[in-house]
A and B are shown apart, each in its own frame.
Chain A
Amino acid sequence: MAEFLTAKELAIKVSICLVVLAVVMSLCALFPRSVGTQKISWTKAFAGPGQKPGENIDYEILVRVRLPRVILAALVGAALACSGVVLQAILRNPLADPYILGISSGAGLGVIIAILSGISWSFLGGSPIGIFAFAGALITVWLVWYIGHFTGKSQVTSLLLAGVVVNAFFSAVIMFLTSIAKSEQLRSTIYWLMGNITEKDSAVLLVSAVCILAGIIGLFSICHRLNISTLGEYEAKGLGVDTAKTRVIAFAFAAFITSIAVSLSGLIGFVGLIVPHGVRLVFGPDHRQLLPISAIIGGIFLVIADTLARTVFGQEQLPVGVITAIAGGPFFLILLAKYSRKVSWLK
């Protein structure tokens, strides 16, 4: 007899993963006690804000620095992992990641323009760099989508090709602009390109959280159609799924949440590629559970990676993208070795 994924079973799995995420976020917010120059006292931190704002410095660090930072890491991790899941499905390509369709180079170009032009205004508490990254990413995705549709009948291939071409072109423009930039501008650009999670204004965090969660819920509603889209256009139509429509919805939501993630934290590689694969190896390819579980695991992964990034070198913080690549690669190989044996036994 066949086994079916039920809503109840999924709710249980997601709840367990959410508990793990909450535990990891709490631990990473509380530990290690001293980071940078400040050592926090838990007793004082849990005592509350005190009479006047800013009176209890330990509380302020926990609530205004540590907590927003782990929330930000969880949000960015979730967005990148979901985007990876969805792009791998609609492009029917296991090598797809959130940046495959030009988001990285578009956002990078936006950031360089913001840095080189020395713009200093902000919008809704967001930095000009973040806003330019967001705009650059969305404009590039639209461009790739337009070129992909304009050029080919086989939309998946032409989209991929358009993404590669636009990425290459914009990367060349980025290299040109960095080569003429001043050294201090160059440093902040390169740091941004490596991916970096820093504290954000609470309004920015709230707006981003609402947008990312809405995007993930939107993507979850098309998960059963994504399953079928992975079989190709003809198969999908025979099963009652309009792949073109599904692709537009999936692409729009994925581009939106990735652009938000990129504008918050720069280019953090590897999360959107290995988290979906890792979760798929353990839980299988059914997107109805692959997407929500990948979102949570992506969050957990980035929270841990960010904690390592800010602690392993003591005073000096590493870009989190370095940790995700260094830690994620071997972790993924272990998963692959363990589960590919199981799969080859099946074969």
Chain B
Amino acid sequence: MNAFIEVENLNFGYTPQNTILKDISFEVIQGRFLAIAGPNGAGKTTLLNLLCGLLRPKAGCIRIDGAPVESYSVKKLAQKVAVVRQEFVPVFDFTVAQMVSMARTPYLGTFGFEDKTDKQMVNEALEATDTAQFALRALGSLSGGERQRVFIARALAANSPVLLLDEPTSFLDLKHQVGIYDLLKTAQFEKGKTIVAITHDINLAAQYCDEILVLGADGNYHIGETKDVLSPEQIEKVFGVRTFVGRLGREKFFIPLGKFAKDSGQIAGKSHNIRHE
């Protein structure tokens, strides 16, 4: 399989003196789902902004579909990569359909009217995300979870091979968190999308993502199959939190243990060894 996203010796800092990302190299195979996790300030969103061409690396190279990111025009890059950021309410009251239609901008002619293909893509994306029912409502009138589904619909309507997501489930309740990841997994399986999502929820990452890139605050990183990388030792090292690990069938799950967790002393002491089959 081809590597669709290739990152080679990537270095980046916002000032010449400081470097947030040091010598990062990895690749994402076409049709795979990569999670990016790590503590606040580790540079996850910075890495995402580098992947979608908003920032330029200090050193190193990022290639999408074989060509360096900087070689693409803004329009061409938008045809390759769709980005979903944390949900927001726009300044002006666009409807859901208008917001999703914006994904077709890189394909529109001079005066920006949608053709038959554009309309079909938008309608399919609205159906896939179950947002067609809101199509004519103002985006601002929806709940946070509904809005996030609209932004995912917009990314699907772009029909780009890559989806980049920045914490797509922050502020959402459990049902909506699972709903969003189900949507993404369906897009991965049915449309062959290559997906990179920043997440703080290692349980969702363990359940849905093929691979995980864990960025440490010290600049170190680990990447690999989710089941291999996610371990209590790794989590404690990166996040500074002890975890209880259980198993549900073949799936691992993690419970972070705070100072006041019930029987925390007892569990924490043994937490690395506990396996519930």
Contacts and interface: CB of A to CB of B under 8 A. Distances in A.
Contact of B101 (A1, A4, A6, A284): A4
B98 to A, nearest CB: 6
A127 B28 CA distance: 66
Given A225-B112, A237-B53, A288-B113, 8 more contacts: A3-B135, A4-B114, A89-B92, A230-B92, A238-B81, A284-B98, A286-B94, A347-B141
A343 interface: yes
A240 interface: yes
Interface stretch (B119-127, B175-183, B198-206, B265-273): B119-127
Interface of B: 49, 52-54, 74-75, 77-79, 81-83, 85, 90-98, 100-103, 105-106, 108, 110-114, 119, 122-123, 126, 132, 135-138, 140-141, 158
Contacts, number: 110
Contacts of B111: 7, 220-221, 223-224, 288
A2 B123 contact: yes
Contact of A286 (B85, B98, B106, B108): B98
Contacts of A1: 123, 126, 132, 135
Contact of B113 (A7, A92, A230): A7
A228 interface: yes
A150 interface: no
Contacts of A94: 91-92
A168 interface: no
Nearest to B90: A231
A224 B97 contact: no
Nearest to A241: B105
A201 interface: no
Contact of A225 (B93, B105, B137, B140): B105
A285 interface: yes
Interface of A: 1-7, 89, 92-94, 220-221, 223-225, 227-228, 230-231, 234-235, 237-242, 280, 284-286, 288, 343, 346-347
How would you classify the secondary structure of chain A's contact residues: helix, strand, loop or mixed?
Answer: loop
Contacts of B74: 237, 240-242
Contact of A2 (B90, B94, B108, B119): B119
Contacts of A347: 138, 140-141
B95 A284 contact: yes
B92 A239 contact: no
Contacts of B92: 89, 94, 230, 280, 285
Contacts of B75: 240
Contacts of B81: 238
A242 B73 CA distance: 9
Given A4-B119, A288-B112, A346-B141, A240 B105 contact: yes
A240 B122 CA distance: 16
Contacts of A239: 78, 102-103, 105-106, 158
B137 A6 contact: no
> Which of A4, A93, A240, A284 has the most chain B CB within a 10 Å cutoff?
A240
B102 A285 contact: no
Contacts of B82: 238
A88 to B, nearest CB: 8
A77 to B, nearest CB: 22
Nearest to B53: A237
B108 A224 contact: yes
A343 B93 contact: yes
A279 B94 CA distance: 14
A230 B97 contact: no
B82 to A, nearest CB: 7
A4 B97 contact: yes
A92 B95 CA distance: 17
A5 B119 CA distance: 11
21 contacts: A1-B135, A2-B101, A2-B119, A2-B136, A4-B113, A7-B111, A221-B110, A224-B111, A225-B112, A234-B49, A234-B54, A234-B83, A238-B52, A239-B78, A239-B102, A239-B158, A240-B78, A280-B92, A288-B111, A288-B113, A346-B141
Contacts of B135: 1-3
Contact of B77 (A224, A225, A240): A240
Nearest to B155: A238
